[in-house]
Structure 1
Amino acid sequence: MMRNRISQIKDFSLAMPFIPYLFYLVIPTCLIGIMFYYLTNNKVSDTISCKTNNQLGLTQSNPQNIQTDIRSGETTCYLFDGVAGQNITIDTTSKTTLLTPNNNQLVLLGTSQYTLPETGTYTLKVTSSKDKEPYQLKIALDNQGAIATFPAGASKYPSSSNPNSTVRTQLSYNVKNPPSFKSDWQLQKIVDDILGTIQAQGLSTNNVSISLVKLSDRNCCAYGSYSDSQAIFPASVSKLFWLVALYGQYNAGILQEATISEGEIYKMIQDSDNEPASRVVDTITATESGTELTPEELKTWIDKRLWVNHFFESAGYRNINVSQKNFPIPYLKMKSPDKGRDLQIRGKGVLPIRNYLTSFDVARLLYEIDSGQAVSKEYSSKTKKLLSRDLNPDVWKKKEYNSIGGFFAESLPQDSRVFSKVGWTLDSRQDAAIIESPDGKVRYILVIFADNRGFADDWKIFPTISRQVYDRMVNYSSN
């Protein structure tokens, strides 16, 4: 997975936290859901203290337009009454938390649409990392929808000297509807037993997300899960999404085939090398790392970086951010995102803007790759081939850092087939794999994200879980 001890730390976003830098994003009415920072269906404690609480009497005929300042470290709260089913569209350049009546929390960044899940009083909490920042809050709510904008002044995705730039911004992932994974009690029992194994090893199930998909069914697909809609830090699993986005641009003729060499792509996926991954991100988003930018320049640069999110979001991927590079990147002489525009996009304080994915969306992409739908049958086949792992220990043990030891494939029969993308940092462990028995009768997808230091330090837990699931899936298929 990694070429040396330094490069094994694939992303420092947990080890080196930052506060989101305030920047301007896109406000086209046709662009919904550019970027969600964090989403969980679990109830969370409300730990954000409000300096002021402002009650908003929102109706269709009474929109609110607020212009004021907010100081660093302060939180200003706006309360409004909503009805289940109403829509709210928010564009924000400051960290903004939407707290539901049932104490669920959605942290927003960029342009996003949200349907109110319940009737009651909602709270919008706006914070700033600057000494003193002017902002505008404009919000209206009715049965047909709601609009909230703060601050004003963003632009659409910018054009550039590249004649393909407009085409790129309009390009969308081709599979528009998620697969119809069907809850299955036998698979759910396997997932529940995974949680039992985790707890028996003294590890926490907090910030753990699991998806299990049975691929052997003619009618897709039996499914079991745990916290599969929770946004979790993906580490190097984000490289799988960058590869599909690159192939999407190849397929659309935006980039010429082999713009990124096959050797570089192989290193990005097979070796999880951050250097070619950095070049892929720059290529597909028409950006590059570098020195700090002015606010206006940064707005344009971030708009371009966020294209990779929009590529998938416009096809129904709901909670995704893969706009951040993985670090260290030796050719940029960057061990971490501690300078320039890569720091600006993440932020400079206590909480970073990090990449995040759900286990459901990763399982969905793997399913679409396996079924030949991702971009095209040809590119799905190329992607799956790149994900293929050689389970012969005489091969993988020669690599000091690889995607076998400490991950799902290590404990599986040597003649089984595994197609995987893994991630690891000092504080997290991730694996996402298509797994097939030697006879091909057992086929399934297993995705586990653990944003948890205990998993990072435990090199046996994923192999243990993987063998447990494999044996159960073999038994499931034989019944």
Structure 2
Amino acid sequence: MKACFRSVCVIALSLSIMAAANGQTREEIEIVKPKAYSPLKASESAELKKTVDDAVKEVLPKFKDLGSDQIAMTVFDMSDPANIRRADHRGEEQIYPASVVKMFYMVTLHQQLEDGKLKMTPELERGLRDMIVVSSNDATQYIVDVLTQTASGGELPDDEFSLWSHRRNRMNRYFASMGYTNINVNQKTYCEDAYGVEQQFRNYRGNNRNMITTNAAARLIAEIATGKAVNPARSQIMMDLMKRDPYATGREANSQATEFVGKAFLNDKIEGAKLWSKAGWTSTTRHDAAYFELPDGRKLAIAIFTVRHSNDKELIPTLASKVLEKLKGK
């Protein structure tokens, strides 16, 4: 009898080990919105809408072959915390976000850390910092793996791929639960291309790519700036990571600070501006999501996405300058 009992225990232990090896018992770690979360309240402003539309119209002739359908822009005027206004130009247009998506992954990572579902380690801290501060794609790939319990590798059979895909969509479910719409944030970022299961996840035809709207990007950075992303303490940590110095020169200069919205402060000779941002660019896109505070009291969150003008380093700062010019004194 004892020998039989030992045999049963050995078999059960062996099956448990095999199941664990096959990922069958791996705990699902869903990303859940904070119980106390409430979206940022902002009213649609006809006056701000005219400012945004006029800024786009006035910039078009300044750049060769630039059309209004190549620009998306959303502005939150947060100068009066009790009366936040918003407006956009093509704000619900889905556009490949390049590295702006890393801001979304940063928020989800901090949610998991806050909930105790992940533990901060020196390596995870290094990856998070490099993903945001220097926009490392390699670091982003690592962060996505940690968030989703997935890993790049060979193509998978249907049953394994179904679970892999469900896990990879955790970030989408998280943001959807908070009312973010019309976005897809489930892909790694690359210097070249995706292979294996990552390409399988794109249906081998470039489907299912990351897509974000300027409405979503501007809202998220505004929620981080106001302490609504995860909680005020976590939001402040994220703000510290996104802090930029648009006045830095030489080795201290960061292109995310000096070649995007931040360049508007230099062009317009605005001193003392404070800037937090996450930019992104590829061979076909050039974007920025920024929150800034000016010495005159103006506080704005702005997301500007542009396509087919990725080499026009003046386009985003010119748009930002036009908005600032029209809002001055209002």
Same fold (TM over 0.5): yes
Matches of 1:187 and 1:314, distance apart in 2: 28
Q: Find out whether 1:449 has 2:305 as its counterpart.
A: yes
Q: Which has the higher strand share?
A: 1
Identity across the alignment (%):
28
2:204 maps to a residue whose letter is K
Aligned counterpart, 2:220: 365
Matched, 1:319 2:175: no
* Distance change in 2, residues 1:174/1:388 (3 Å): farther
- Distance apart, 1:177 and its partner CA: 4.5
CA deviation profile, 1:158-205 (whole Å, cap 9, x unmatched): x85444x2xx22623556543332122331122012221342124012
Q: Does 1:374 align with 2:229?
A: yes
- Change beyond 3 A, Cα 1:254–1:377: same
Regions of 4+ moved over 6 Å: none
1:305 and 1:291 mapped to 2: Cα distance? Answer: 16
What is the CA–CA distance in structure 2 between the aligned matches of 1:443 and 1:341, rounded to whole Å?
Answer: 43
**Conserved 8 A contact 2:127-2:142:** no
1:390 aligns with 2:253: no
Contact 1:209 1:449 survives alignment (8 Å): yes
CA contact 2:218–2:303 (8 Å) conserved in 1 = yes
Letter of the 1:295 partner, please give it.
D
Q: Which amino acid aligns with 1:475?
A: G
Alignment of 1:179-218 (within 5 A): 179-200=40-61, 201=63, 202-218=65-81
Which letter does structure 2 place at the counterpart of 1:474? K
Q: Which amino acid aligns with 1:469?
A: V
Comparing both structures, which one devotes a greater share of its residues to helix? 2
Spell out the pairing of 1:5-404 with structure 2 (5 A cutoff): 161-163=25-27, 165=28, 168-169=29-30, 171-172=32-33, 176-200=37-61, 201=63, 202-258=65-121, 260-328=123-191, 335-337=192-194, 339-349=195-205, 351-395=206-250, 402-404=255-257
Q: What letter corresponds to residue 345 of structure 1 in structure 2?
A: F
Amino acid at match of 2:58: T
Residue pair 1:209, 1:226 contacting (<8 A) in 2 also: yes
Check whether the contact 2:185–2:210 (CA below 8 A) recurs between aligned residues.
yes
CA distance in 1, matches of 2:38, 2:216: 12
215-224 or 425-434, which deviates more: 215-224
Amino acid at match of 1:348: Y
Shift of 1:395: 4.6
Q: Distance in 2 between matches of 1:173 and 1:279?
A: 24
Q: Which residue of 2 aligns with 1:432?
A: 289
TM-score, normalization by structure 2: 0.85
Supply the distance in 2 between the matched residues of 1:395 and 1:263 (Cα, whole angstroms).
24
Summarize deviations over 1:87-122 as a string: whole Å, max 9, x none. Answer: xxxxxxxxxxxxxxxxxxxxxxxxxxxxxxxxxxxx
1:253-296 deviation line (CA, Å, top 9, x unaligned): 10113375333222110110111111100000011111111122
Please state whether the residue corresponding to 1:250 is helix, strand or coil: helix
Which structure 2 residue ranges, 5 or more long, are not aligned? 1-22
Name the structure 1 match of 2:279: 422
What RMSD in Å do the two structures reach over aligned CA positions? 2.1
CA distance in 2, matches of 1:397, 1:464: 23
**1:207 and 1:340 mapped to 2: Cα distance?**
32
Contact 2:246 2:258 in 1 (8 A): no
Structure 1 spans left out of the alignment, 5+ residues: 1-158, 329-334
C-alpha change, 1:342 and 1:220, in structure 2 (3 Å) is farther
SS of residue matched to 1:261: helix
Change beyond 3 A, Cα 1:173–1:240: farther
Structure-1 separation of matches of 2:78 and 2:128: 27
